[in-house]
Amino acid sequence: MKITLDHLTKKFPNRDKTKGDVTAVGDFCFDIPDGKLIGLLGPSGCGKSTTLNLISGLETPTSGRIFFGEDDVTKLPPEHRGIGLVFQNYALYPHLTVRQNILFPLQNLKGKNKLSKEQMNEKALEAAKLVQIDELMDRKPSELSGGQQQRVAIARALVKMPRVLLLDEPLSNLDARLRLQTREELRRIQQKTGITTIFVTHDQEEAMSISDEIVVMKSGIIQQIGKPQDVYDSPANLFVAKFLGTPPIDVFNGTVKGGKLYIGDEAVLPAVGVEDQDVYVGIRPEGFILNDKGAFTCQLQNVEVMGRDTSVVSTHKESLNVTIRSIISAENKVDTASKDVRFDLKPYKVFLFNKETEKRILFGGQLAADVPAEMEESLDTAAGRTDSQSK
Ligand code: ATP
- Ligand 1 atom with the shortest distance to the CA of 200: 7
Q: Which residues pair with 66 in a beta bridge?
A: 5
Range from 110-119, 129-138, 278-287 that averages highest in pLDDT: 278-287
Mean pLDDT estimate for the chain: 90
Burial class of residue 117 in the structure, from the number of CB atoms within 10 Å of its CB (0-12 exposed, 13-18 middle, 19+ buried): exposed
Residue of 21, 22, 171 with the most ligand 1 atoms within 8 Å of its CB, for mutation: 22
Check whether 373 has a pLDDT greater than 80.
no
Q: What pLDDT band is residue 6 in, cutting at 50, 70 and 90?
A: very high
CA–CA distance, 253 with 282 (Å, rounded to integer): 9
Convert the pLDDT of each residue in 235-248 to its tens digit.
Answer: 999 999 999 999 99
Q: Would the CB of 379 count as within 6 Å of ligand 1? A: no
Residue 233 φ then ψ, to 5°: -80, -25
Cβ 10 under 6 angstroms from ligand 1:
no
Confidence of residue 374 (pLDDT cuts 50, 70, 90): very low
pLDDT digits (tens, 9 = 90+) for 174-228: 788 888 888 888 899 899 999 999 999 999 999 999 999 999 999 999 999 999 9
Ligand 1 within 6 A of 42 CB? yes
Closest residue by Cα to residue 362 from 284, 279, 295, 293? 279
Set out the domains of the chain in order of their start, with CATH numbers. Answer: 3-233 (3.40.50.300), 247-366 (no CATH)
pLDDT interval class at 377 (50, 70, 90) = very low
Mean pLDDT of 318-322: 96
Check if 12 has its Cβ closer than 6 Å to any atom of ligand 1: yes
Cβ–ligand 1 distance for 162 under 6 Å, the answer no
Q: What is the pLDDT of residues 121-130, one digit of tens each?
A: 999 999 999 8
Most confident listed range (33-37, 114-118, 304-308): 33-37
Ligand 1 pocket, 270 CB below 6 A?
Answer: no
CA of 4 to the centre of ligand 1 (A): 22
369 band by pLDDT with thresholds 50, 70 and 90: low
The confidence score (pLDDT) of residue 33 equals 94
> How many Å lie between the centroid of ligand 1 and the Cα of residue 50?
6
For ligand 1, atom 14, name the residue with the nearest CA: 47
For the CA of 15, the nearest atom of ligand 1: 29
pLDDT at 173 (0 to 100): 79
Ligand 1 atom nearest the C-alpha of 10 is 16
Of all atoms in ligand 1, which is nearest to the CA of residue 50?
11
Q: For 162-224, give the secondary structure using H, E and C.
A: CCEEEEECCCCCCCHHHHHHHHHHHHHHHHHHCCEEEEEECCHHHHHHHCCEEEEEECCEEEE
**Is 346 in contact with 362 (CB distance < 8 Å)?**
no
